[in-house]
Chain A
């Protein structure tokens, strides 16, 4: 069996569960980390990942091979993550929850806590800005790919990314992350 995404999709469409399993194995870590960075909750991230692949499986016949599979997958993953985050109002809740824990610039976060510190800082960003930071910095996608996934013009991606970085800089400074 050829293991490129398109072949795996085609085999999956014919009912080959092994092929679909390969797609899951290949992308589950990326989707999980995307979901984790969006939600910051380990269990939620696992739930989102499962939900994403279920949706992928159900909608596989609608996948247009003209596009890259991972772009399509990411789009579903982003939407699932946004749905959950917005449904739970998690952003507001977590900001309130962690407000008293914000360190002063003198008490800078130690290097081992960078991941935690950045994830907390990210949660203060509006989800529309958070997602572009995650896709760019953690998923290493191009502006074009991000535009495709979010279904927005590339110019808007660049603009949001700059704004998001600037906002994140302010938040991280306040939190002592940078």
Chain B
């Protein structure tokens, strides 16, 4: 019997996989080979000992610990990946005009956009950001923004209300828009492309409404409560004018002119 055949038959004998004919073949061989017989017996004995090894109970809290870790990990990974992606787009989109929209409830803008210092002007264009999603964590303390005047509006007859806040840093302008609307409205944020370049946005209810970006405007539809944060690269130190309009069924419900100045 070859060594390979012996190995195979011993393995299978230990594992209870030998046919009666194979067991007999092994038995005959072992009768004529004392060394092989001793090895085979020892391995069978070892297998018996191994079968007596008891399973150990894992910690009682293991399942809940795992599920908690999974939940935490899910949140963290989605926010981190999108954060990284968004920052990357903001900082590295030097030749293409890219957008990302991100969502996060209760976030306060103050993002690491000071790094935009190195961003080169890019060719303008139109993109559909609807396929992009994610969330973002913003450290407001780390990156100082100067807050401009805030505006509030209410159109009681149409059950629409909201607030607008502008913030700016040396290279960035931010518009925070909170809006509550019983029915669907269209919001347009218009800006002058000579002074501002749209770089990205977030919204607290990512699945709602549509969005579109053009060279001089950002348009969205929304219903219910939603919060949007739009980031623009400032192309000049001159005052930047922005108009926010809220429209329903082609009727302008509210128009707010903003000026982002030093």
Contacts and interface: CB of A to CB of B under 8 A. Distances in A.
B52 A111 contact: yes
A24 B63 contact: yes
A53 B70 contact: yes
A46 B58 contact: yes
A114 B52 contact: yes
Contact of B74 (A57, A136, A137, A158): A57
A168 B43 CA distance: 9
Interface stretch (B3-11, B131-139, B143-151, B250-258): B3-11
Interface string B5-22: 001101100110000000
A28 B66 contact: yes
Contacts of A25: 63
B62 interface: yes
A32 B49 CA distance: 21
B38 to A, nearest CB: 10
Contact of A33 (B47, B56, B65, B73): B56
A166 B66 contact: no
Contacts of A29: 55, 57-58
A178 B53 contact: no
Contacts, number: 99
A24 B8 CA distance: 36
Given A50-B69, A137-B50, A162 B7 contact: yes
Contacts of B156: none
B70 A133 contact: no
Nearest to B72: A54
A69 to B, nearest CB: 16
Interface residues of B, number: 34
A83 interface: no
Contacts of A63: none
A36 B49 contact: no
B88 to A, nearest CB: 21
A131 interface: no
Interface residues of A, number: 40
A31 B10 CA distance: 28
B66 A54 contact: yes
A57 B70 contact: yes
Interface in A1-35: 17, 20-21, 24-25, 28-29, 32-33
B46 A50 contact: no
B73 A58 contact: yes
A71 interface: no
Contacts of B11: 158, 161-162, 165
Residues of A contacting B: mostly: helix
Given A162-B7, A168-B46, A24 B54 contact: no
Interface in B192-234: none
B22 to A, nearest CB: 14
Given A32-B56, A32-B58, A53-B70, A172 B49 contact: yes
Interface in A83-107: none
A173 B46 CA distance: 10
A49 interface: yes
B55 to A, nearest CB: 5
A168 B48 CA distance: 13
Interface string B30-70: 00000000010011011101111111111100110111011
A177 B52 CA distance: 12
Contacts of B73: 54, 57-58
Contact of A119 (B14, B53, B57): B53
Contacts of B49: 114, 118, 172, 177-178
A128 interface: no
Given A29-B58, A53-B66, A115-B53, 11 more contacts: A24-B63, A24-B66, A25-B63, A46-B62, A50-B66, A50-B69, A54-B69, A58-B77, A137-B47, A158-B11, A162-B11
Ranked nearest first, the 7 interchain pairs of A and B with the lowest CB-CB distance are A32-B58, A137-B50, A162-B7, A53-B66, A115-B53, A57-B70, A169-B42
